[in-house]
């Protein structure tokens, strides 16, 4: 029995050796350039698939989600939770050279919920990505009374890191220019409105300094890209470069987004 095991092990090692030799010979036959070209193409396809179907990086460019998210936070976004949205544009990255293509969405694990921090295509300019918190679902009646968000007649609690930077409250009855829909009120006293089917109401956690659904309207489900998952890196751009170590917000790295 022992001899049989030894023979089997030697046969396996011989097979591994021959396979390795064939692989090396195949690479030599292809040539260095072709071998690396195949590697780069394969890597590109894998990265494209991961970005499209699994997760994608996103950088926070503005203060509208403070203090939950800060300028300079880099996020990973879960793209399959709500269903994978296939690309709707093909072209040269970082340019406007390209063209639109039909897109679709696969079934998701669940629908967006109140409180989810979501990355989406800005409805007024789909080439721009926005990030806000979902506060209203399809069919909800939403109202804001003296800065307090009301959903179906009940207060919707502020996120733990939400903030208000202006102590003043715009009185009810005062119509603010730019509010959507026109005549719905102002940033502090808004609505009530009913959120249409297939749409969501989004707000920034920096409630007094956020361009959100109060100003540009409802978010169509089709524009949703994914749920913000984790902060994988964070840096403060206002810290001088020669203090690079100090500019990194170490405590925020690997923080889950709530």
* Residue positions annotated with a catalytic role: 64, 132
* Separation CA 142–CA 147 (nearest Å): 12
Paired residues of 221 in beta bridges: none
Across the chain, where does the E strand assignment appear? 55-59, 73-78, 89-91, 98-100, 117-121, 129-136, 141-145, 148-151, 154-155, 190-194, 199-203, 219-220, 224-234, 255-256
Angle, CA 40 vertex, CA 38 and CA 43 arms, to 5° = 105
In the 3-class helix/strand/coil scheme, how is 123-134 assigned residue by residue? Answer: CCCCCCEEEEEE
The two three-digit tokens of residue 247, written as one number: 């500019």
Angle between helices 2-30 and 32-53 (to 10 degrees): 100
């Amino acid at each position: 029995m022992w001899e049989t095991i030894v023979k089997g092990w030697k046969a396996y090692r011989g097979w591994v050796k021959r396979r390795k030799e064939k692989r090396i010979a195949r690479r030599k036959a292809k040539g260095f350039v072709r071998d690396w070209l195949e590697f780069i193409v394969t890597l590109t396809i894998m990265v494209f698939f991961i970005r499209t179907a699994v997760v994608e990086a996103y950088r926070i460019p503005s203060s509208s989600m403070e203090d939950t998210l800060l300028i300079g936070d880099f996020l990973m976004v879960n793209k399959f939770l709500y269903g994978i949205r296939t690309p709707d544009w093909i072209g040269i990255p970082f340019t406007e050279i390209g063209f639109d293509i039909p897109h679709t969405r696969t079934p998701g694990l669940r629908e967006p919920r109140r409180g989810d921090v979501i990355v989406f295509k800005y409805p007024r300019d789909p080439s721009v990505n926005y990030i806000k918190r979902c506060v209203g679902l399809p069919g909800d009646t939403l109202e804001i009374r003296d800065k307090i968000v009301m959903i179906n007649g009940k207060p919707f609690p502020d996120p733990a890191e939400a903030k208000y930077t202006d102590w003043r409250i715009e009185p009810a009855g005062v119509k603010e220019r730019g509010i959507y829909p026109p005549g719905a009120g102002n940033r502090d006293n808004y609505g009530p409105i009913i959120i249409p089917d297939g749409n969501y109401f989004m707000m920034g956690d920096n409630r007094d300094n956020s361009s959100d659904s109060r100003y540009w309207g409802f978010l169509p489900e089709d524009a949703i890209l994914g749920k913000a998952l984790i902060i994988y890196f964070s840096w403060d751009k206002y810290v001088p470069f020669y203090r690079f170590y100090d500019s990194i917000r170490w405590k925020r790295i690997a923080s889950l987004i709530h």
